[in-house]
Amino acid sequence: MMRDRFYRALREALDADERVWAVTAEIGTASLGPHPRHVNVGIREQLLIGVAAGLALEGKRPVAHSYAPFLVERPYEFLKLDLGHNDLGAVLVSTGASYDGARSGRTHQAPEDVAAVAALPGWTIHVPGHPDELEHLFREALRGDDRVYIRMSEEQNHARVDGGGFTVLRRGSAASPLVLAVGPTLAPVLEATAELDATVAYLATVRPFDREALRAALPATDVVLVEPYQAGTSAAEVAAALLDRPHRLLALGVPNVEFRRYGSGPEHRAAHGLDAAGIRASLEAFLAA
Amino acid sequence: MTTTTTLGYDDLPELLTRLTGDEKHDWSALSTLDTLWVLHDRVLADGDRFLLSKGHGPQAYYAVLAAKGLLPLELLASWGSFDSPLGNHPDRALAPGVGFSSGSLGHGLGVAVGVALALEASAAEPPAPGGTPRLRRLAGGRVFCLVGDAELEEGSNWEAVQFAGRARLGILNAIAIDNASSTHGWPDGLERRFMLEGWTAVRVDGRDHEQLAAALTPDPDAVRPHLVVAEVSR
């Protein structure tokens, strides 16, 4: 579980590094536990980001944590101004992802979060697909003083991918499509492409987007981008990377619709065509088109 | 830096004229002028922090910073131009002497809470065996944040006010310039609202330098955040 790993890593960082502060707004507060540099501001998400910015203004390394819609969307202007415009850094770590809170309904689902953060300048965005990757990326983020958004999810891959960055996991023929799996979509992507001639790559850090690596990995013309949040969030990055190369792009992800369903995460994943069967169907239709 | 001479309160009209090119304006109408002057002339000491949350109408701020040698006088005439570091809302990444970028209302107090937490905890006592860790207050370093009475309409301010009171951030001081510009007003006064949330509060004449200086020199051992309402006519 990424969440448990995050709380443990943050507790260790609080004990080890006086620069590190944790700021919560009731969510995760008890799991993290008390510490002199853990501040729970209550259900006050504008203050959550404001306090993080104030701590950064004093040279601290604040970690702000909440459910994705309450960490990113509710205080969005505070990300833009208190942190971005004031030229301050913080590590924002969200939980809930696109539909971990399936039963909680739309209020607790945030498929827009990565697109929203990516629309602001200067953010590094990590979408780890495994608790080991989460811990590594989080500890790296603590060392810096920049703006980092880390998106945790209940969905995770069977194994971590080592090496960080854009990693080619399987090479197909010179004519094969490049299927780029982001974060926890790797497990269904590997299953969907098992019997296909495909080049499969993995990416956990989507901003900045490694355009050079995408160019280097692309065997032919077809790109299939599989993101666990809003479809097309990184489509413009792919287009920019391949500006001078004729190409086709299929961008899979959560559709931009008001999705009024409860149920479970796996049901949502399947409904959005992001399970192995859905990805395979989209991929075959794309290749046949 | 080319010109860093220190000027006085009486020099501010000339600096404001440089800034705006307007020679006939009655600068005493600027609601924040006297408070900003008293803060920078008599209150702020080494280690103190100041956040101008009410970034609207920053002429007075720039003029005071220039008078105090924190902002080169030569920059004043460039105000608002494409290459100028001085805009209609101050940007800390551009303007010398500016500690906080403002313009959108309701952001300063929350950030000031974060600053106050960092200053109060800059030396945490190690936790006693089996006990709850405690924070130790260090000497020096108070936080001042200037807001407006209309700015306080933004709900984000109240998140900060509520938390600062509960957290007993005694080094935090808010100054509310009250020129009655809040359309729906504050029946029974701003002070009561802050006091209910655990603050101390006082109302002074926002043109009276002695009253302002006295109100802005709070008890160094204060355990409650402090509000100074500086009342000025529009």
Q: Min CA distance, A34 vs chain B (Å)?
A: 8
What whole-number percentage of chain A has pLDDT above 90?
99
Residue B4 is predicted with a pLDDT of: 52
* B155 touching A (Cβ < 8 Å): yes
Q: Do B159 and A47 touch (CB under 8 A)?
A: yes
Residue B122 is predicted with a pLDDT of: 63
Q: Do B100 and A86 touch (CB under 8 A)?
A: yes
Residue B133 is predicted with a pLDDT of: 41
Residue B140 is predicted with a pLDDT of: 59
Q: Is the pLDDT of residue B93 over 80?
A: yes
Task: Compute the average pLDDT of residues A61-88.
Answer: 98
Q: Look-up: residue for tokens 């991929």?
A: A283
Question: Which residues of A sit within 8 Å Cβ distance of B?
Answer: 18, 21, 34-37, 39, 41-42, 44, 46-47, 49-60, 62, 77-78, 81-82, 85-87
Considering only CB atoms, which chain B residues are within 8 Å of A21?
117-118
Considering only CB atoms, which chain B residues are within 8 Å of A42?
162-163
Closest-approach residue (CA) in chain A for B133: A36
Q: Categorize the per-residue pLDDT at B187 as very low, low, confident or very high, splitting at 50, 70 and 90.
A: very high
Q: Is the pLDDT of residue A124 over 90?
A: yes
Residue B26 is predicted with a pLDDT of: 76
Closest-approach residue (CA) in chain B for A20: B118
Q: Read off the pLDDT of residues B109-154 as tens digits, 9 standing for 90 and up.
A: 999 999 999 999 864 444 444 444 444 444 458 999 999 999 999 9
Q: Is the pLDDT of residue A103 over 60?
A: yes
Residues A129 and A150 sit within 8 Å (Cβ to Cβ): no
Task: Compute the average pLDDT of residues B83-105.
Answer: 96
Q: Is the pLDDT of residue B213 over 80?
A: yes
Dihedral pair phi/psi, residue A219, rounded to 5°: -70, -40
Report the side by side order of strands in the sheet with A205-207. Answer: A38-40, A20-24, A61-67, A90-95, A147-151, A123-126, A205-207
Considering only CB atoms, which chain B residues are within 8 Å of A52?
114
Q: Do B113 and A78 touch (CB under 8 A)?
A: no
Residue A87 is predicted with a pLDDT of: 97
Bridge partners of A38? Answer: A22
Question: Which of A36, A47, A81 faces B160 most closely, judged by CB atoms?
Answer: A47
Size of interface A-B (CB pairs under 8 A): 104
Considering only CB atoms, which chain B residues are within 8 Å of A22?
none
Considering only CB atoms, which chain B residues are within 8 Å of A34?
132-133
Cis preceding linkage at B126, omega within 30 = no
Q: Read off the pLDDT of residues B193-202 as tens digits, 9 standing for 90 and up.
A: 999 999 999 9
Question: Which of A35, A44, A53 faces B114 most closely, judged by CB atoms?
Answer: A53
Q: Is the pLDDT of residue A160 over 60?
A: yes
Q: Do A54 and B117 touch (CB under 8 A)?
A: yes
How far, in Å, CA of B148 to CA of A20, rounded? 33
Q: Do B156 and A54 touch (CB under 8 A)?
A: no
Residue B134 is predicted with a pLDDT of: 41
Mutation for B interface: A19, A37, A39, A58, most B CBs within 10 A? A58
Q: Do A50 and B107 touch (CB under 8 A)?
A: yes
> What's the number of CA atoms in the CB half-sphere (13 Å) around residue A134?
28
3-state secondary structure of A47: helix
Q: Is the pLDDT of residue B226 over 60?
A: yes
Question: Which of B107, B122, B135 faces A81 most closely, judged by CB atoms?
Answer: B107
Q: Do B111 and A51 touch (CB under 8 A)?
A: yes
Question: Which of B93, B127, B159 faces A46 most closely, judged by CB atoms?
Answer: B159
Cα torsion A270, A276, A278, A282: sign: positive
Task: Compute the average pLDDT of residues A187-197.
Answer: 98
Question: Which of A36, A53, A57 faces B133 most closely, judged by CB atoms?
Answer: A36
Q: Categorize the per-residue pLDDT at B3 as very low, low, confident or very high, splitting at 50, 70 and 90.
A: low
Question: Which of A44, A55, A87 faces B114 most closely, judged by CB atoms?
Answer: A55
Q: Read off the pLDDT of residues A210-262 as tens digits, 9 standing for 90 and up.
A: 999 999 999 999 999 999 999 999 999 999 999 999 999 999 999 999 999 99
List, as ranges, residues 178-217 from B with C-beta within 8 Å of A: none
CB atoms under 10 Å from CB of B42, counted, come to: 15
Residue B220 is predicted with a pLDDT of: 76
Closest-approach residue (CA) in chain B for A37: B121
Residue B132 is predicted with a pLDDT of: 42
How far, in Å, CA of B7 to CA of A19, rounded? 39
Q: Look-up: residue for tokens 């023929």?
A: A173
Mutation for A interface: B50, B111, B138, B151, most A CBs within 10 A? B111
| pTM exceeds cut of 0.90 | yes
Query: What sections of B68-216 are H helices per DSSP?
Result: 108-120, 155-166, 190-196, 209-215
